[in-house]
Structure 1
């Protein structure tokens, strides 16, 4: 999740319109599935690295524990081609391998049996790509704090975790048994990674190693390092450990500012279920870049301001009532980290739901009317340049509309349901049903179609796979009023509320003309476009 903000929309749009509709072998190697990937299931990553901030280099290894799903003698592990492979070891013997772009095809001396569990030790080194503009353009962010001390983070969503460590770089496979991340940094600095702190060790060579462990499955792009001169603030709220790692000179400011986390946790846990990584704890970690949803170690760079670094993305003023990065990036713990899309073409499953959590938080704190006002503010960020769903199998995200338009799909569905108790239970059950699972748009469609007792496929097709906003067109003939949808997908039949002289009624337009049972004039009709993502014509 690269943070849904005005700047992000621009960034996402620039990518989507500049990217060619033809893709390379490099793209398919990164985004596709082939036997060398599907034949094994990662069980655990044990990553140990030494980072030299002055040279901007990494050296280390990743122990990849995996289970063989189908008999194979070759697997694909990913590492960016600018990084060096020192050796790949299996059963104390070096393996042969071939590099193809950012893919590494590892050859075993004999076929691995189905069901067998194995460990490959992948030794590597190099100078990882520096982020041109973290978090939107991935890589390492090599900065210094105002005291001149190293202040470093990494953000690689979309770009690929294999930018900095060897990994099965696909959202289809997370390490079922978690991971350890052990990072050695120069003495006087601290590394903060995902999960629980296991301890630190002075290596006697000017470096201290900081050890962390994640017990839950984790997206590969969520595995992270954060290096700085940190102060540690610990709190516990209703049994959940809250840990904040901030630059030392920001400690007192952070203690007060991060109190919002407690209000947020009350809201989100009531609406989406228990925090999904409680056994790994919850952390906010100050970073030199804006933010990222690194699981159990949320990257925070919002300068301790309300809104999005002091601005309101909704243009309503409501966005200035909360810290955008705390709310949005933590929302991803449920939607993106716990529930993960199988292919980044379906990233709206992360971003649309998470942008909707912003409105949920507004409703928790300020009420329903303000939440609706907030949603109508972010509607102005929908551009409809390209479809929300991208191209599958080639590591291609859809348009930046996945944020506001994805959220508006949910806002619209809520008002189709027209029963808040039913809606909130539905959303809660969705979060719980797919907790720690990897899913597709079809899974989302099937779940809500069943719960809403209607076929949502034409609606999902309309909003996710086209750039067309449905047009509810009215006409008057011989004193009678007719209505129908225009610019819609086949079988599109979205119920919508209209007001006639202030009285609400529900209609279910289709692409066929229907007569409205009223003696009112066209000018007496108002469509609830504040609740439904549609345009109107003729009134």
Structure 2
């Protein structure tokens, strides 16, 4: 498990859970949702230390079979633990040493009877044998499961994407964001005319007697369960370095020359990200881009790439401004997740905005590094068109449910707003970078993130986080003007909302401090033009009618 302040995270989740349930009162959770999303004694009693996933994948029958060795430490004495595996896959047997263990299945949860109560600090390893045909994704990565595809030359092209859907859709594990192994060995056997590329460093390839080769990849860092990946094809490989970081690229043979050109963007991206967010967090495991039959995914140290060697998002600009066509969306966004999501991980999927808001913001960070502040602001403001304000960004805790997809654009716009509330770029960027370094390889939640930025920026951000994360309203600055008198107030805001905002009076920038009560600003010139900085603060404006 990541070295974390998880007890604090767990307490803070409990504090916020009541509010979250009210916000999502019409989003019903099933017993299966609770089994997957909640932390009960069968989960809190043990801490996963290590996985060794050892399986074979048959591309023809689409069959997985093998085992996962699960090494764990007992935190609270227990005789029963929960491991997760989708119920369309068979549990063949579970062993502790030479003993076969009894188990019961309920939906996708497997409750394992350890045969005796294990004491605190005891370290044990169970071997979980399983087999079956995993779920086939219909539209990866937007739904979960395996993709069994073919390359243009007719070879097998196989990968998996399971964020949100669940890593337990294809391998048995403690399928909750709050517990990650300290390290992991991924051993995948595939026909010997194919290669499997997984996370971490290649430990070696074993030649088996059945016409298969077993590819052994070791991950030397904590890893999210949904990040664990297989990528199977007749890949070709090329290598580069950035400073002392290994850059490895695995692509289809027919795309080698395209990849050599397209992946040149990795080095300026790394330079930008390390300047603004600190060193690449998984140097021990290296950095890989692996071509996949679907668009992309943030698989730790083995980023899935399927953008077809185009700028933008499959040749489109999500912002509608043209700025998004200057760079390859999948390279930038999915690599941003190495810092946010893979290194810094949310304790509950309800706080998935901690992954996605910050990572979407890294798109603007990259733009600002390469093309300047104005282009970055143009891009972020273009993203406003993608905000739906359908449900709150924070989801209901404890039931494996995310909040709104607004966590991407609206979450990034919230961060940009906080930057401009700060009104000190040096302080903002130092705080942003130190946040990623101080919380690297840890589990966090909303309160931990909020408290860090409040402390280091010296700003009370409670109502800002409440407004953008827990409501579907964007703050409205209501105003009215008569001659030299200018009045303003906030509407459609949470109680106590008093966020400052900048306005331009002519060419002079002035900061005002609206509340929900009317306030007055005396103007020297009754004809002075007033502009509200809606490009820096994610707000709406409205003229009040007398």
TM-score by length of 1: 0.95
> Gaps (5+ residues) in structure 1?
1-17
Contact 2:427 2:457 (8 Å CA) reproduced:
no
Q: CA deviation at 1:502?
A: 2.3
Q: 1:56, 1:124 → 2: CA distance?
A: 14
Contact 2:500 2:514 (8 Å CA) reproduced:
yes
**1:292-326 residue CA offsets vs partner (Å, 9 max, x unmatched):** 00000000000011111111111111111100000
- Once the two structures are overlaid, the 10-residue window that deviates more, 293-302 or 483-492, is 483-492
**1:90-145 residue CA offsets vs partner (Å, 9 max, x unmatched):** 02110000000000000011100000100010000000000111001000011000
Secondary structure at the counterpart of residue 431 of structure 2: helix
Match of 1:424 among 390, 412, 429: 429
Q: CA deviation at 1:517?
A: 2.6
Match of 2:141 among 118, 135, 139: 135
Q: 1:57, 1:265 → 2: CA distance?
A: 38
2:28 matches 1:22: yes
For residue 115 of structure 1, what is the aligned residue in structure 2? Answer: 121
For residue 221 of structure 1, what is the aligned residue in structure 2? Answer: 226
Secondary structure at the counterpart of residue 334 of structure 1: coil
Q: 1:43, 1:114 → 2: CA distance?
A: 15
Contact 2:506 2:528 (8 Å CA) reproduced:
no
For residue 189 of structure 2, what is the aligned residue in structure 1? Answer: 184
Q: CA deviation at 1:72?
A: 0.1
- Once the two structures are overlaid, the 10-residue window that deviates more, 136-145 or 247-256, is 247-256
For residue 176 of structure 2, what is the aligned residue in structure 1? Answer: 170
Q: 1:402, 1:122 → 2: CA distance?
A: 36
**1:365-384 residue CA offsets vs partner (Å, 9 max, x unmatched):** 00111111111111111111
Q: 1:419, 1:459 → 2: CA distance?
A: 18
Contact 2:83 2:111 (8 Å CA) reproduced:
yes
Match of 1:389 among 394, 413, 417: 394
Q: 2:61, 2:527 → 1: CA distance?
A: 70
2:41 matches 1:35: yes
2:339 matches 1:334: yes
2:485 matches 1:480: yes
Secondary structure at the counterpart of residue 238 of structure 2: strand
Structure 1: 4+ residue segments shifted above 3 A: 476-479, 519-523
Secondary structure at the counterpart of residue 407 of structure 1: helix
For residue 106 of structure 1, what is the aligned residue in structure 2? Answer: 112
For residue 381 of structure 2, what is the aligned residue in structure 1? Answer: 376
For residue 3 of structure 2, what is the aligned residue in structure 1? Answer: none
- Once the two structures are overlaid, the 10-residue window that deviates more, 521-530 or 380-389, is 521-530
2:171 matches 1:148: no
Contact 1:480 1:519 (8 Å CA) reproduced:
no
Secondary structure at the counterpart of residue 255 of structure 1: helix
Contact 1:476 1:522 (8 Å CA) reproduced:
no
For residue 498 of structure 1, what is the aligned residue in structure 2? Answer: 503
TM-score by length of 2: 0.94
Give RMSD over aligned pairs: 1.5
Match of 1:89 among 95, 101, 105: 95
Q: CA deviation at 1:229?
A: 0.8
For residue 302 of structure 1, what is the aligned residue in structure 2? Answer: 307
